Each structure stands twice: as C-alpha cells, then as structure tokens.
Amino acid sequence: MVSEALRNTIPTERRLPFLALVGAVLAGGAAVIGVAVSQLPGASLPVAFWLMATIAVVADARPFTPPGRRQTLAVFPSICLTFAILLAWGLGPALAVQAAAVVVASWRMRHAVWRGLYNLGQYALAFGAAELVLQLGGARPYPLVGLSVGQVATVVVATIAWFTVKYGSVTLTIRLRFGESAWRLLRRTMVWEALTYGALLLLSPVLVAAAAASPALVPLVVVPLYAVYRMARLAEDLVGLTRRDPLTGLANRPALASAAAEQVTIHKDLAARGDPASRFGLLLVDLDRFKNVNDALGHEVGDQLLVEVGARLQATVGPRDLVARLGGDEFAVLAPRLSGAAEARAFAGRLAAALAEPVRLEGLPLDVSGSIGVAVWPDHGAEVAELLRRADVAMYDAKQRAAPVAVYSPESDHHTPQRLSLLADLRTSLEQPGADGVTMHYQPQVAVATGEIVGVEALLRWQHPVRGPVPPDQLIKVAEHTAVMRMLTLRIIDEVVAQLARWAAAGESVRASVNVSIRDLHTGDVAERIAGQLRRYGIPPRQLQLEITEGALMADPRRVLATIGALDRLGVAISLDDFGTGYSSLQHLRRLPLAEVKVDRSFVLGMAHDADDAAIVGSIVELAGALGLRVVAEGVEDAQTCQQLADAGCHVAQGWYYARPMPADELLPWLERYRKLADDLGGEKPHDNHLS
C-alpha cells in the first residue's frame, strides 16, 4: 500500500520498522472500525449530532498548523466535535464523522491514499482507547447532564488515553520516516500539541452539555475553536521568539547550541554502532565586506542582504541540516551524518560557491562572499562550546589566508587551554623581573671575509618551572596576538641594553641584534623605550639593531614606517629577517631605511647540495649589494657553505659552524678563546670545531 517512491526515500535500517508500524496501525484501526460499525445506531440521530458532524467536516479543510511546521504535525479541529460525538452517541458515529473529516482533509492537503488511511487508523486506535476508558470508568451510557466527580475524572483520563495513542503514533511515525530524534521531536512539539489537543478534547464535554441544553448552542463552538487556534499559535510564537532570529527567521544561537547538543547524543550512538557517518560538522560563515554594503547603501539594504544570504544558505543545505544566524553578518550551519573533515570541507565548498553568486538588491548586483570555518565532532571538540570556538578559529584562519574555507587546525589556534595556561605562566614570569625563567642567549655573527666577530644576535629562551625549556617559536606563537607580546618585547629590550652596558664595562663593545614583532612597531612605544634605555646606560645607538621578519613587514608596511623612521633617526639599524620568504617588493626595499637583510636559513642550509638554493642566495647578495645593504646568512653549519657564501660576496654569517647560542656570561670567555685561536691560526678563520 505504501508507494515504492516513499519506501525508497527511507534508509534501509528504518524501512522495515516503518512499514511494520504502518501495517500495525492499519490492522489495529481496521479492528476498531469493525467494532464501531457494529455500534452504529439504527434510529435517526438528533439535530445536534448533524450540526457537530457538519462543522467537523468543514473545519478540517483548514487544520491548525503553526508556521514552519510539517503537515504531519497539523492539528485538526474536528477532534473537538468527534470526541463530543463519542461521549454523547458512541464509537460508531464518532468514527463515521472522523472518517468523513479525514477524507476532506486528505483531499485538501493532497495526501496519498495510504496516508489518509493511515491517519484514519490512528484516529480509530485513539478513539478505541478513549472508549475503553469510558467503559471501564462507568461513563457508559454517558450522562448528558449531571456528571459526577468520578465521571468527570473518567472523561479526563479518556482524553489522556486519546492523546497518548494519537500523539505517540505520530511521533513514532515521524521518527521512523525522517530519522528525527524522538526526544528532540517531543521537546520541539510538546507545547504546541498539548495545548491544542488538550484544549480541543476538554472542550468536548462542555459542548455535549451545551447541545443537551439547546442544539442552537452548537454552532457557537466555532468561536472557542478559533480561540484555541490563536492561543496555540501565540504560544508557538512566544517559544519561537527565543529560538528564532527575528530578521531572517532562521534559528538563533541558543537554538543552534541546543540542536548541536542533541547531535552529540545522536552521533555518540552512531559511533557506538560503528556507523561510518558518525560525525557532524559545525560551520561558521562570516560575510566579507558586509560593512561596505551598510556604509554605501544603508542598513536597510544590508538587512535585505542578510535575509537573502540566509535564504540562499537554506536552499543549499539538505533537509537534515540546520542554518542559524548568530548575529551581525555571521551564520552557522549544522551538518549531521558526515564521514569526516574531507566531507565537511566539500560541504563548505558548496556553501561558498552558493554565496559567490551576485545578489541583486536595489537594482545593483552585489558580490557576496564569505569565509567559512569548519569544525568536526568529535575530531575538533567533544563539547558544543569547544566545537563552536574552534569553528570560529577556523573561520578567522580562512579570513587571514583569504581562503573561502578553512578546517580547524591546532596550529591556527592561539587560545587552546594549554596555550592559555602557558601564556598565564609567561605573564607571571614577566611581571617578576628578578625571577628566573625568561633569559637571553647570544649567537656570534662573523664577517665572512675576515673571520672577525661583528655582532651577536639576542635569542629568547624560557625555562618553564614545570615544562622545562619552551621552544622560542612556540613561545612567540603563544604571546604574539596578546598584550603579553608587548611586555615580552620591552623586557627583551631592557635586558639586551643592560647587557651591552655590562659588556662595555668589561671592555667589550659589541653590536646586538634584537628580534621584534611587527605589532610592536604599530605605535612609537618601542622607539621611545629604546631611546630611554640607551640614554640610561650610555650605549651608542649603533650598538643596537632591530630585526623585523619579512613576512610580518609585508602584512602592514605603512603602519610601521613611522616607527622605523624614528628608529633610523635615533641611529638604531633595521635588519630585514627571513629575507626571501615574504615576497618583498623592490619598492619596499627602496623606501624603508634598512641596514641589512638576513637570508633565510632554509636557503642557506641547502646551498651545499642544491644549486637552486645557491643561486637564490647569490641573487639576494647581488640585489642587496646593489641597494647598499649588508647581507647576513643564518644557518651556516659547514665549511663548504661558508666558502660558497664567501665566493658569493656575503658579508656576515652566523650558525653552528661558528658558535651555538650561549648565555651572556659565557660570551666574553668565548670571544677571548676565539681571538686567541685566530692569532694562533694566522690567516685561517677559526670555527666551532677548533674551539671544541
């Protein structure tokens, strides 16, 4: 009886239970209808019955369905009248009228034949349960007037039995048909169903009493029926205000969080059963350049754009997916039953493609694009809050890389609990100047042509009290996007200048290079701090040099130009670090007051066995020479590389071939040994093997 097309739309694991349920309801309903037919009265029924029957059939042409609900959740006003007929005239007349109402409603709503019969079967079972309660409770024959307290209680229990059978069978049907969580369905529909069904069923005994007084009172039931409809709709609207975004009509943040929590429960069960689609994705979508639309065309057009974007996302996703607006121009999509990150990325790619199509508003085609961050449960978080946070991290990663989609990666997450803990410990260490932990090591820089020590690079070290040595790159990643980075930079400047003063007092004048974050140069604080410390310790500005990474400089060269200019006027030299990896333009090299460029170690390390790396280093040396810049090669680890650098004309080298980074108190003894060895070797340049 169920169509082949319908069977094919139900997954295999639910198909057999669904068909079994349909068969059981049809069989049970047929049995109740058989009993009801035997109870049809032989005599003619009163006018009140015919009035109730007519209103019931007509009313079901317009069932109660709140906005956004499936038709499977519609409530039919006929039940008030057919339940009243059940009370007054028995099971046979009640089911006869209900059958007529089902025919009208099915025709009006274009239901398939099997569905109309299935609905009638549900009604038959519900009325059969109510009739059984009435029989057992002594409410047969039903007294039209003068009900006792016990009989009233029996009627209430009968309505509960009717509701339990009807609502329970509908919930189970939807669960098997659409795969929706029964608990989620109960929570989502219970208020609406209980209010409407309860009000309609409990209105029935009042209607019976009114009909007994005068059939003319029966048509007045239309007014309370409409009131029930309005009451239920208002209740739904009130619930919706807390679950829906008022502008787009999409789910809001609380609704998304609730739905995601339910998906955690569902997918834990799927994972336990070994289902390959045991993951779900949470995608955050942030529109690009939305502020430009608001500024240029006004907030009204901006709101229209948000509505259109919401509709476009909704049209792109599947029936199981949930689209939500979180606020502003940020949307979210909950995508269940995924196999992993690759499928989630492909899904996000389809959303990005849908957003890329221009939107025509106010006669203008507006280009809309978005950055989409993807997090997958449980790979990227077992809890909803963690999943949301990591989807947000991925979204900002996509924005920074100008990519439409990014999947969460721990490397992009600067605020994991571990990193936050590390950051707190770093802040504590920096707030205690005398405490051990944050220190500086120094690596000598050697003139390639002469072997003379021309400077040192100050390198950050941190000995964590529990974790031990923290790698410098990890330390910078933890601090660079926070206010702690400024504290760290100022601490390094103070420490290095003070150390230069201690060396000067010991008779050693040496230049020190210090690495700074590009964010430190966005204001003049660093230049002022350096000037103050140099004056305090009486250190010539030429003895301090700042290193700025090329990649960071390329991200925002204009904002740092003023600070670099101030440092240049002060006499502090600027070195461009990691040269060759940040795609500097010649325009930047020409405009910025640079003293040197440092060739990235990735090129220097490969010079001895890779002709391309050797050619790149040679080209950098030639370019820098043409611009009057000194060239420093870092990562020099063997004699062959050193000789190639000398042949290319490189000015300065540093690396393990000459010396490893060392604490400040070891530098002067090392310099003494190095210079003595240089005198002993004559023209040969000393290196680390000589000093070992």
Residue 13 has pLDDT above 70, yes or no: no
What order of strands is seen across the sheet that includes strand 330-338? 322-327, 330-338, 279-287, 370-377, 405-407
User: What is residue 652's predicted lDDT score, i.e. its pLDDT?
Assistant: 94
> In which band, very low, low, confident or very high, does the pLDDT at 5 lie, cut at 50, 70 and 90?
very low
Average pLDDT of the segment spanning 623-639: 90
Contact 459, 442 (CB under 8 A): yes
For residues 22-46, one letter each, b for 16 or more C-beta atoms within 10 angstroms of the residue's C-beta and e for the rest, the string is: beebbebbeebbeebeeeeeeeeee
Residue 237 has pLDDT above 80, yes or no: no
Give alpha helix (H) positions in 242-320: 253-272, 290-297, 299-316
User: What is residue 409's predicted lDDT score, i.e. its pLDDT?
Assistant: 82
Longest dimension (CA), the chain: 133
Sign of CA dihedral 238, 242, 245, 251: negative
Q: How far apart are CA 125 and CA 29, in angstroms?
A: 5
Q: Tell me the percentage of the chain whose pLDDT exceeds 90.
A: 25
More confident residue, 474 or 455: 455
Q: How far apart are CA 334 and CA 344, in angstroms?
A: 10
Cα separation values, 215 from 60, 61, 77, Å: 21, 23, 19
Summary mean pLDDT of the chain:
82
Residue 71 has pLDDT above 50, yes or no: no
User: What is residue 413's predicted lDDT score, i.e. its pLDDT?
Assistant: 66
Q: How far apart are CA 458 and CA 474, in angstroms?
A: 17
Q: Residue 413: how many CB atoms within 10 A of its CB?
A: 19
Whether residue 378 has a cis bond before it, omega within 30° of 0: yes
pLDDT in tens, 378-436: 888 888 888 888 888 888 888 877 788 999 887 766 666 677 777 788 888 887 765 55
Q: How far apart are CA 436 and CA 251, in angstroms?
A: 52
pLDDT in tens, 335-375: 888 888 899 999 999 999 888 888 877 667 777 788 899 99
Q: What phi, psi does 628 have (nearest 5°)?
A: 75, 30
Residue 70 has pLDDT above 50, yes or no: no
Provide CB contacts within 8 A for 336, sequence distance 6+. 263, 266, 267, 280, 320, 321
pLDDT in tens, 143-161: 877 778 888 899 999 999 9
Residue 678 has pLDDT above 50, yes or no: yes
Residue 446 has pLDDT above 90, yes or no: yes
pLDDT in tens, 240-262: 666 788 888 888 888 888 888 88
Reference 388, options 368, 402, 373; nearest CA is 373
Average pLDDT of the segment spanning 174-192: 61
Q: How far apart are CA 38 and CA 9, in angstroms?
A: 39
More confident residue, 13 or 33: 33
DSSP 147-206: --HHHHHHHHHHHHHHHHHHHHHHHHHHHHHH---HHHHHHHHHHHHHHHHHHHHHHHHH
Average pLDDT of the segment spanning 492-508: 93
Q: How far apart are CA 425 and CA 422, in angstroms?
A: 5
Contact 605, 582 (CB under 8 A): no
Residue 329 has pLDDT above 80, yes or no: yes
Q: How far apart are CA 155 and CA 163, in angstroms?
A: 12
